Amino acid sequence: MAELAVVRSEETQKSQVDTETTERFIAEKRIGERIKRLRLKKSMGLVELGRHTGLSASFLSQLETGRVVPTLRNLARVAMVFSKDLSYFFDTEPHAMFRVHRRKDRVRLPQTGTEAPTYYFESLGYMVPDRHMDPYFAEFIPPAKNVETKAHMHPGYEFLYVMDGELAIRHGEHECTLEQGDSVYFDASTPHSYVCAGKKPAGAIIVTMHQAPAAQPVTPLRAVSLGTAGPRPMPAAPTPALAEKR
């Protein structure tokens, strides 16, 4: 009978989640690290967070270091301070982005919108989805005579580093010539253009940084009394201009 009881006990233990597995599952969610990131992003100290949540600074410190496990009630208090849903602390975090682009895989494309391109470019980040910047390698060739450079513009900012040769840049009313090792950072929403300024081709690294369009103000709804003419139609929201793409 005793041996049978031991067997049944072992079977019962195997059908239950053990403590070690539970602790590992909680640790994998990195709840404490997520709370600390939210707090530091707001430049908030433990004492200040404690005032907002009603939790002590010492408890929050232990929570961030993983020494204690929060109840859903306490976690909800923290989530509400940072305007987050409880699911934020349990959703799988995205993996760190890491993409290698081999030179042999790149595609060399000519300047668009012209029959006589003055430069060719290769995307250095074409395999990265939802990227926040676009890096390029560009080669600027000496232009033919009487060839007018075409200016362009787009939202965001642009950085250019000259690797070799000479490159003339026009940005609005500004003009300058860059040489090997020179760089420039400018507002890309201003019309700008580039052209090789030497007898040999110029090479450069160009990084365009995206900028989200400004949020449109929300017009509050107002009560309208119904008369014979009926309610006035609401004005249409302004449509943001489409960015010119290269």
Give the domain ranges of the chain. 2-89, 103-209
pLDDT at 177: 96
- Options 3.40.440.10, 1.10.260.40, 3.40.50.300, 1.20.140.10; CATH of 2-89: 1.10.260.40
Count of residues making up the chain: 246
pLDDT at 179: 97
For the residues of the chain, what is the DSSP string, one character each? -HHHHHHHHHHHHHTS--HHHHHHHHHHTTHHHHHHHHHHHTT--HHHHHHHHT--HHHHHHHHTTSS---HHHHHHHHHHTT--GGGGTSPPPPPP-----GGG---EEPTT-SS-SEEEEES-TT-TT-SEEEEEEEEPPPPTTPPPPPB--SSEEEEEEEES-EEEEETTEEEEE-TT-EEEEETTS-EEEEE-SSS-EEEEEEEE--PPPPPPPPPP------SS-PPPPPPPPPPPPPP--
pLDDT at 58: 93
Spatial contact of 74 and 53, defined as CB atoms under 8 Å apart: yes
pLDDT at 117: 87
pLDDT at 218: 53
Question: CA angle, 132 as apex, 207 and 139 as ends, to 5°?
Answer: 20
* The CATH number of the domain covering residues in 103-209: 2.60.120.10
Residue 29: name the closest of 63, 80, 73 by CA. Answer: 63
> Long-range CB contacts (< 8 A, 24+ apart) of 173-181?
none
pLDDT at 2: 52
The tokens for 80 are 């509400």
Report in angstroms the alpha-carbon separations of 132 from 72, 187, 193, 207, 212.
35, 16, 22, 10, 10
pLDDT at 217: 57
The pLDDT tens digits along the chain (246 residues) read 555 454 444 444 445 556 776 777 777 778 999 999 999 998 999 999 999 999 999 999 999 998 888 899 999 999 999 988 888 888 876 667 788 888 888 889 998 878 888 899 999 988 787 788 999 999 999 988 877 788 889 999 999 999 999 999 999 999 999 999 999 999 999 999 999 999 999 999 999 998 755 555 555 555 444 444 444 444 444 433 433 444
